[in-house]
Amino acid sequence: MIEPFRTNLPLLRDVARVRMYTDCTMDEETILTRSADADAVMVIGFHVPDAMLDRFCGFDGGPGHVRCFAFGGTGVASYIDLARTREHGVRVCNIVHYGDHAVAEHTFALLLELAREVGRLNAEVRAGDWTGADGYALHGKTIGLVGFGGIGQAVARIANGFGMKVAVWNSHVDPMAAAGLGVDLIDDMGDLMERSDIVSLHLPLLAETAGIVTIRELDQMRPGTLFLNTARAEIVEPGALTARLLRGDVRAALDVYEREPLPLDDPLRRVPGIVLTPHVAWRNDEAYVGLTRQVVQSIRSFFAGGDFNVAN
């Protein structure tokens, strides 16, 4: 994202002095040192645990200096304690709709891998195996979406193109958007999962959505259901998805996990037929441009007294 950031930095001309490093480090001490005396910090790719937050902002009685964190993503609650920053008057910003199409396309890449196993078949043909495999038809199947914001709506449009039926858990759904995409609204999440051939999660991680998908709903998925998560692992009750998948009657493709990077001993790795990608659904050139611009706009707004993309 270095070049997209450089392209957008002129937005801060005559607003703020910028200190930018172009190497990659996740080391907390290095990040703290490089952010010395900064009023605002852009947070991309690293977590800000409470001890680090204390030193950034002086919550521990030290000489804190940061008054604004501009987060380059939508799941900021899993990176920074929003309640704590709000209590101390420190602004946290996130970004919106920067990767709607990227995540929707990756969702279908995962679904198609479950349906047609192209990766496995490619490896087999290269090894001289011409056995092949039967595919799983998407046309006419029902995909149930838990979450219907920008990403969920983009997924629905792609699903319509495949001739699929789209059902949506009816929580805070824009009725005009639902009507325009011809979706079936279902009030109970468990009922949605029971009716769907494919279940795909597209909720943001907020205080009210953390753990909202429980074992009760997951238990209602029928054997043979395909399950996708390109949203956040934390919207699922801790341990519930692993327990459900280890029963072996539901196939899944995941891009997000309770612990990232996914540990080598994580039981998810033992789930038969699971497809795993390393939290990359949002990553493409178009998303990088939108992400970096919004992060810089958040900083500019903070210094100018505005409220652009405030998350807390």
CA–CA distance, 236 with 232 (Å, rounded to integer) = 8
Active-site annotation holder among 65, 88, 116, 279: 279
Active site residue 232: yes
CA distance readout (Å), 223 to 153, 166, 195, 244: 26, 19, 12, 11
Catalytic site residue from 3, 29, 260, 286: 260
Whether the Cβ atoms of residue 40 and residue 66 lie closer than 8 Å to each other: yes
Indicate the residue type of 290. Answer: G
Instruction: At 219, list the tokens.
Output: 């238990």
Question: What is the C-alpha to C-alpha distance for residues 208 and 206, in angstroms, rounded to an integer?
Answer: 5
Q: Extract the tokens encoding 311.
A: 């998350």
Contact 220, 192 (CB under 8 A): no
The CB-side HSE value for 190 (13 A sphere, CA atoms) comes to 7
In the chain the beta strands, taken as DSSP E runs, fall at 40-43, 68-71, 91-93, 142-146, 165-169, 184-186, 198-201, 226-229, 251-254, 275-276
| C-alpha span between 36 and 44 (Å, rounded) | 17
Kindly report the number of other CB atoms within 10 A of residue 125's CB atom: 12
Question: E strands along 32-75, which residues?
Answer: 40-43, 68-71
Catalytic residue, from 232, 244, 251, 300: name it.
232
CB contact set of 41 (below 8 Å; sequence gap of 6+) = 35, 56, 66, 68, 69, 70
Enumerate the active-site residues: 232, 260, 279
